[in-house]
Chain A
Amino acid sequence: MRSVLAYSGETTPRPVQPATQLCQFPQPLVVRRLFQSSILSLQDVLLLAWHTVRSLPGGRGAGARLIAQLDAVGVRSVPIVMLTGLFTGMVLALQASVQLKQFGATLFVGRFVAASMLRELGPVLSGIMVAGRVGAGIAAELSSMKVTEQLDALETMGAEPIRVLVLPRVIAAAIAVPVLALIADIAGLVGASLVSVMYLGVPISAFFQAAIDQVVIDGFVFGMIPSDLVQGILKPLAFGLILSLLACHHGLRATGGTAGVGVATTRAVVSASITILIADYFLTQLLLVLL
Chain B
Amino acid sequence: MSPHAFPAMAAAAVELDQVSVAFARPVLHEVSLRVATAETLAVIGESGTGKSTMLRLILGLQQPDVGTVSVMGHSLRAIGRAEQRTLRAQIGMVFQGAALFDSLTTFENVAFGLRESGVMAEPAIRTRVRETLALVDLDPDEVSQTLPAQLSGGMRKRVGIARAIAPRPALLLYDEPTAGLDPLTSNTVTALMQRLQQELRVTSVVVSHDVRAMVRIADRIALLHEGRFVFVGAPDAMRASDEPYTQSFLAAA
Q: Which residues of A contact B (CB under 8 A)?
A: 1-4, 11-12, 60-61, 144-145, 148-150, 152-159
Q: How does the 8 Å CB contact mask read for B160-188 relative to A, with 1 for contact and 0 for none?
A: 00010000000000000000000000000
B62 adjacent to A3 (CB under 8 Å): yes
Q: Which residues of B contact A2 (CB under 8 A)?
A: 63
User: Assuming A1-B77, A150-B101, A157-B88, is B113 touching A61 (CB within 8 A)?
Assistant: no
Q: How large is the interface on B (under 10, 10 to 19, 20 to 34, 35 or more residues)?
A: 20 to 34
* A61, A149, A156: the one within 8 Å of B88 (CB): A156
B244 an interface residue at 8 Å Cβ cutoff?
A: no
User: Assuming A1-B76, A158-B116, A159-B116, is B88 touching A150 (CB within 8 A)?
Assistant: no
Q: Which residues of A contact B23 (CB under 8 A)?
A: 12
With A and B bound together, what is the CA distance between A154 and B99 in angstroms?
Answer: 9
Q: Which residues of A contact B112 (CB under 8 A)?
A: 157, 159
With A and B bound together, what is the CA distance between A3 and B56 in angstroms?
Answer: 10
B99 adjacent to A148 (CB under 8 Å): yes
Q: Which residue of B lies closest to A61 (CB)?
A: B115
B123 an interface residue at 8 Å Cβ cutoff?
A: no
B61 adjacent to A155 (CB under 8 Å): yes
B190 an interface residue at 8 Å Cβ cutoff?
A: no
With A and B bound together, what is the CA distance between A156 and B163 in angstroms?
Answer: 11
B102 an interface residue at 8 Å Cβ cutoff?
A: yes
Q: Which residue of B lies closest to A68 (CB)?
A: B103
CB neighbors of A among B88-104 (8 A): 88-89, 91-93, 95-97, 99-102
B79 an interface residue at 8 Å Cβ cutoff?
A: yes
With A and B bound together, what is the CA distance between A144 and B117 in angstroms?
Answer: 25
A153 adjacent to B101 (CB under 8 Å): yes
A1 adjacent to B96 (CB under 8 Å): no
Give 27 CB contacts A-B under 8 Å: A1-B63, A1-B77, A1-B79, A2-B63, A4-B81, A12-B24, A144-B102, A145-B102, A149-B95, A150-B99, A152-B59, A152-B93, A152-B99, A153-B93, A153-B101, A153-B163, A155-B61, A155-B88, A156-B59, A156-B61, A156-B91, A158-B85, A158-B86, A158-B88, A158-B89, A158-B116, A159-B112
B153 an interface residue at 8 Å Cβ cutoff?
A: no
Q: Which residues of B contact A61 (CB under 8 A)?
A: 115
Q: B124 to chain A: closest CB distance in Å? A: 16
Most buried by B among A11, A145, A148: A148
Q: 9 nearest interchain CB pairs? A: A1-B60, A157-B113, A149-B99, A153-B99, A1-B76, A156-B93, A158-B85, A149-B95, A158-B89
B113 adjacent to A158 (CB under 8 Å): yes
Q: Which residues of A contact B3 (CB under 8 A)?
A: none
User: Assuming A149-B97, A153-B95, A156-B91, is B116 touching A3 (CB within 8 A)?
Assistant: no
Q: Which residues of B contact A12 (CB under 8 A)?
A: 23-24
User: Assuming A157-B88, A158-B88, is B99 touching A60 (CB within 8 A)?
Assistant: no
Known: A1-B61, A150-B101, A158-B116. 20 other contacts (CB 8 A): A1-B84, A12-B23, A61-B115, A145-B101, A145-B102, A149-B96, A149-B97, A149-B99, A150-B100, A150-B102, A152-B56, A153-B93, A153-B100, A153-B101, A157-B88, A157-B116, A158-B86, A158-B88, A158-B113, A158-B117
CB neighbors of A among B101-129 (8 A): 101-102, 112-113, 115-118
With A and B bound together, what is the CA distance between A12 and B96 in angstroms?
Answer: 21
Q: Which residue of B lies closest to A153 (CB)?
A: B99
Q: Which residues of B contact A4 (CB under 8 A)?
A: 81
